[in-house]
Chain A
Amino acid sequence: MTRTMEVARFEENGFEEPNNGEEVSWDVLEREAASNVSSKRSQSGRPHQQDFSRKGDELSGDLYELWRQEQNSIAARLDKELKSRWELDELIEEQLSRYESHYYMAMVSTSLKDVSNLVIPMWLPPHELAAVAWLGDWRPTSILDLVRILAAHNPSFSLSESSERVLSQFLREIRIEEAVIDEEYAEIQATCVLHLPFSPLCNTRSHEEALHSVQELFENIHKVISKAQRLRYKVLELVMKKLLNQTDTAEFVVAFAGIQDAIHQFGEQKKLKKLYPAVLSPLKGSGSSS
């Protein structure tokens, strides 16, 4: 069996010195090879198919040496490919840890103003915020949408049926977690907000007490924002480590970066146009309520 496979492999490469017992079949193969040479060359790209057309007596130790060299060269190329795969792994790991440090940046905020900047990041143009932002950054479900669309539209993406089911299930779960965070945030915006010191319901007496109540409220906001950030990272980690294979993960990172960039550029361009909200000037003498 092993012998048969070896023969088959040698046939493919065309370097085996034909021995007498197999003379007939070699001849057949040679003729076939000669007639198919052009099509085979274009299909397979193996440069040595045409060597079949040579006469067996020319094949010798030199040729074997050549064959060995070829093998070494292919092995070297494979080795290089493997190394680049490890490099790919390393790059993916590096990017994942960059996502992690980016999304966990929220945890190290120290001032109350930082918290406000996490909700409406000053460094993002308003059009980018309006286009994608949920609590200051991408919606976790949007990240999953991106994966879903990549899988559907990118032919080199190879998401298995079971992975696709996992993705749908995951999308449902994350959607719920997003809604829970929305609820928690609404509670702060609609109820806790009434504990601000200037609220008509607040009985704080000293300035210190007042500042303390603001601090507490912002700490709650910070908790919710951090939860949203952790959810984003959780989605990315699951997509990159569990759901997608190495190549697909790489495709995903390229797409995510490219799309984020395209939306950011769009936002920057819109910002340059300076089309700010405007209102009609009140006519002098017209009865305004103010």
Chain B
Amino acid sequence: MPFSLFSRKKPSRRFNDFYNDWSKTLTDNCLPLLRQSLSSAASASVLSTNVDIVLRHLVLYYETLDLAADSNTIPYLLFPSSWRNSLETPFLFLGDIHPYLLTNLLRSFIDRENQDSDEDEDVSLDLLNQPLKIATAWKDPSDELVKRIDQIECTMRLMVPVLLDRMRKTQRRFVSRVTENWVSSYQSGKKKKLAATAASASASVDEAAKDEMEELVSIFVDANRLRKSVIMDIVGATSEHQAALFLEGLCQFLAGFKDQVLLQDFELLSLPN
């Protein structure tokens, strides 16, 4: 079976198509699945299974991103404009959600539930149908959970600046190399037309870009590894109910970017003056 898979000529399809299917599954299957297990008196094992299914769906996405990344395709993955709409592109950090968003989301759930309870009315509107266990899932989080979130955040806050720094250095190194080559071909060809200099410069851009794109692939893969591991760590650190609520929130958020009604209005909106 593996043999036939790899020997066939074109067993591949565009990432674009994969993403659209993946996103549709997230909205149409994962989100209802989680809501169902949260709102009804579903058994603990069903909840656990569903959390696992959704987690695997998210992990699948990051793994597929990694597989799709090589030095030819990396620009499309870092700056996706064909499968991401203009509502979401400004929020992309190295091609996907910012890793800090994940812990911020988790912390907001906890903070909201543990504030002075003047707003209890607001919060509990949606939760009326939920079993008590779920409605109070974020109430008084265990010391262990708080400590674990701190740890996850701490690691992340070490890694994100490193990723940004690598990106910056890679781009600056590229510009420096291209400039060096351009200067030397400009010097040697000062009597030639500027166009001739441009032609020889373009060959050297190719060369410098090869190294740059490889480094960008590595940065992208590391950024995805971070996002993926933060999601898995959060699910690992929280209880089944908390994990289900967190994943539901995340899926709702990701699905929200594809809301066609909002998107249509977004296209027409102007900046406030």
In the bound complex, residues from chain B placing their C-beta under 8 Å from that of A198 are 252-253, 255-257, 259, 262
* Residues A142 and B171 in contact, CB atoms below 8 Å apart: yes
With an 8 Å Cβ cutoff, the count of chain B residues facing the other chain is: 93
Say whether A203 faces chain B, with CB atoms less than 8 Å apart. Answer: yes
Name which residue of chain B comes closest to A203, CB basis: B122
Asked if A290 lies at the interface with its beta carbon under 8 angstroms from chain B, I say yes
In the complex, the chain A residue whose C-beta lies closest to that of B81 is: A120
Interface of chain B, helix or strand or loop or mixed?
helix
User: Is B124 an interface position by the 8 A CB rule?
Assistant: no
B155 CB → nearest A CB, Å: 15
CA of A265 to CA of B22, assembled, Å: 34
| Beta-carbon contact of B79 and A279 below 8 Å | no
The residue that B108 contacts in the complex, of A116, A145, A201, with Cβ under 8 A, is A201
The chain A residue sitting closest to B173, CB to CB, is A145
A194-219 vs B, CB cutoff 8 Å, 1 = contact: the mask equals 10111111010001001100111011
Least CB distance, A29 to chain B, in whole angstroms:
37
User: Is B187 close to A, CB under 8 A?
Assistant: yes
Chain A nearest Cβ from B10, distance in angstroms: 9
The interface bits of chain B over 109-131 (1 if a CB of A lies within 8 angstroms of the residue's CB, else 0) are 10010000000001000000000
Give Cα distance in the complex from A119 to B85, angstroms.
12
User: Which A residues touch B186, using CB under 8 A?
Assistant: 154, 254-255, 258
**Bound form: Cα–Cα A134–B168 in Å:** 8
Q: Are B270 and A112 in contact (CB under 8 A)?
A: yes
Residue contact B73 to A277, C-beta cutoff 8 Å? yes
A277 touches B69 (CB 8 A): yes
Contact status B68-A277, CB under 8 Å: yes
A200 to B171, CA, bound (A): 36
Do A215 and B198 have beta carbons less than 8 Å apart? Answer: no
Q: Is B89 an interface residue (CB 8 A)?
A: yes
Summarize A's interface: helix, strand, loop or mixed: helix
Contacts of A111 in B (CB 8 A): 268-271
User: Closest CB of chain B to A111's CB: distance in Å?
Assistant: 5
Are B100 and A199 in touch, CB under 8 angstroms?
no
CB neighbours of A142 from chain B (8 A): 171-172, 175
**Per a CB cutoff under 8 Å, which of A127, A218, A276 touches B90?**
A218
Q: For B75, B216, B255, which residue has the most chain A Cβ atoms within 10 angstroms?
A: B75
Neighbouring B residues of A265 by C-beta, 8 Å: 198, 202, 205
Is A112 in contact with B266, judged by CB distance below 8 angstroms?
yes
> A200–B269 contact, CB under 8 A?
no
Determine if B101 and A190 form an interchain contact, defined as CB atoms under 8 angstroms apart. yes
Give the Cβ gap from B115 to chain A, nearest Cβ, in Å. 12
CA distance A275 to B68 in the complex (A): 11
What distance in Å separates the Cβ of B62 from its nearest Cβ neighbour in chain A?
12
Which of A14-22, A240-248, A281-289 touches B?
A281-289
Residue of A with least CB distance to B74:
A130
A200 and B252 contact, CB distance less than 8 A: yes
A105 to chain B, nearest CB (A): 14
- Counting CB contacts under 8 A, is A149 at the interface? yes
